[in-house]
Amino acid sequence: MNGAVMYAPGDVRVEERPDPEISAPTDAIIRVSAACVCGSDLWPYRGVEELEWPAPMGHEYAGIVEEVGSEVETIRTGQFVVGSFWASDNTCELCRAGYQSACLNRVPMGALGAQAELLRVPFADGTLVATPDLPPEDLIPSLLSASDVLGTGWFGAVAAQTGPGRTVAVVGDGAVGLHAVLAAKQLGAERIIAMSRHESRQRLAREYGATDIVEERGEDGVAKIKELTSGLGAHSVVEAVGTQESMLQAIRSTRPGGDVGFVGVGHDVAIPGMEMFWSLVHLHGGPAPVRQFLPELIDLIWKREIEPGNVFDLELPLRQAAEGYEAMDQRRAIKPLLRP
Ligand SMILES: [Zn+2]
C-alpha cells in the first residue's frame, strides 16, 4: 500500500509501505477513505520536534472496516468508522472517566501512520465509532474532522467550561481554534470572540458562530478582550496554538474565576508561578479525549446540524501529500484533506 513518510523536516514522501496486518485479536484494519495533515504534523515538519526518521505520518482517519480480529465484538467488516488519534480500550478506569486520551493501554495512531491506504486500529471496539450507515460523499470531510480537530476544539471549549451566559474567547485560528468556535456555539455560549487576523479564517469563524473578531495579538489582544468584557476578561478562553505567547494571552484574557481550556500542543511553554497564582483562573487541557465526544459529534454531523468539514480548504490525492504539508506550513491552506 501507499503511505506518507517523513524523512526529515520538510521532506515528506509517499511511498510503498507494508500492508498492515491484524497483530492482536482486538485490532481492525480499515481502508482509509480520507486522511489529513494536522497542525501538530507541522512541528516535526518545521524541525521543532524530533521524530525517529523515517516516520510514517498521520493520525486522523475515517474509513471502511476491511477486517477485524477474533475478539472484536461491536465493529464489523463493511462499517464506516471514525476513531480518535489515540487508540483506547474504552474500558479502563481513566477511559470510563472520559479521559480516553490517557487510557492505560493507549496507542498513538500517529505511530501507525494514517496518511495511508490502509490502517491498523488497535482496540477496535474501544477506539472506533461506526456511523449509522455508509455516509454520503459530502459528509466524509466532516466525519474525518471529528477524528481530531473537531474533537479537540470541542474538548477545548468543554475544558473552558463553555456554556449559556458565558463569553468565550478563542486564541488560535487554525482548524482546532475554528472548531472551538463551532463548539462554543453548540454549547450555548452567549458571546464568542475569535482571535484572528486572516480574512478567510475570520469569515469561517463567523460562519461557525463568532460574534466578535479580535485581530490584535499578545498584550494588545488581551487589552482588546478586556475592553469587550467590561474590563474583566472572558469567562472561558480556549488556547489552540501551543506557544508561550498564546498561552499567556489566554491566561491574561480570562477573568478571575474563569477557565482556560488549552489544547495547543505546548512547546516550551512556561507559566510564571506568581502570575498563575494571582490570576485566579482554572487551567484544564491536554491531548483531547476525542473518543468521549465522538458519538455526539457523529450524531450532529449525521443530522447536518454542524458542518465542520468546511475547514478543509484543499483536497489532494494522497500521493501529493507533500504539497499538502507545504500549503499548510505556508498558511495557504487551513487544512488539507488527503484522499488515498
Ligand atoms: Zn482505557
3-state secondary structure of 339: strand
Instruction: State how far Cα 331 lies from the chain centre.
Output: 17
C-alpha 18 – ligand 1 centre gap (Å): 28
pLDDT of 96-108, one tens digit each?
Answer: 999 999 999 999 9
Q: Give the whole-angstrom CA distance, residue 241 versus residue 49.
A: 15
C-alpha 184 – ligand 1 centre gap (Å): 27
Percentage of the residues of the chain whose pLDDT score is greater than 70: 100
pLDDT of 261-283, one tens digit each?
Answer: 999 999 899 999 999 999 999 99
pLDDT of 146-198, one tens digit each?
Answer: 999 999 999 999 999 999 999 999 999 999 999 999 999 999 999 999 999 99
* Cβ–Cβ under 8 Å, residues 169 and 225: yes
C-alpha 97 – ligand 1 centre gap (Å): 9
Q: Give the whole-angstrom CA distance, residue 147 versus residue 121.
A: 13
Neighbours of 319 (CB within 10 A): 15
Residue 5: all three cell numbers together = 513518510
Q: Give the whole-angstrom CA distance, residue 35 versus residue 339.
A: 7
C-alpha 41 – ligand 1 centre gap (Å): 25
Residue 198: all three cell numbers together = 486572516
Neighbours of 244 (CB within 10 A): 14
Whole-number average pLDDT of the chain: 97
Strands 61-68 and 80-83: antiparallel
| pLDDT tier at 311, thresholds 50, 70, 90 | very high
Q: Give the whole-angstrom CA distance, residue 334 versus residue 205.
A: 12
Q: How high is the pLDDT of residue 267?
A: 87
C-alpha 297 – ligand 1 centre gap (Å): 20
What is the amino acid identity at position 223? A
Element (H or E) spanning 313, and its range? strand 312-317
Residue 216: all three cell numbers together = 490584535
Q: How high is the pLDDT of residue 191?
A: 98
| pLDDT tier at 201, thresholds 50, 70, 90 | very high
C-alpha 269 – ligand 1 centre gap (Å): 28
Q: How high is the pLDDT of residue 32?
A: 98
Q: Give the whole-angstrom CA distance, residue 337 versus residue 340.
A: 10
pLDDT of 23-47, one tens digit each?
Answer: 999 999 999 999 999 988 999 999 9
C-alpha 122 – ligand 1 centre gap (Å): 12
Percentage of the residues of the chain whose pLDDT score is greater than 90: 96
Q: Could you give the strand order of the β-sheet that contains 212-214, starting from the edge strand earlier in sequence?
A: 212-214, 191-195, 167-171, 234-239, 254-262, 282-285
- In the block, cell 509517499 appears at 14
Average pLDDT over residues 104-115: 97
Kindly calculate the radius of gyration of the chain based on its CA atoms and give it in whole angstroms.
19
pLDDT of 275-310, one tens digit each?
Answer: 999 999 999 999 999 999 999 999 999 999 999 999
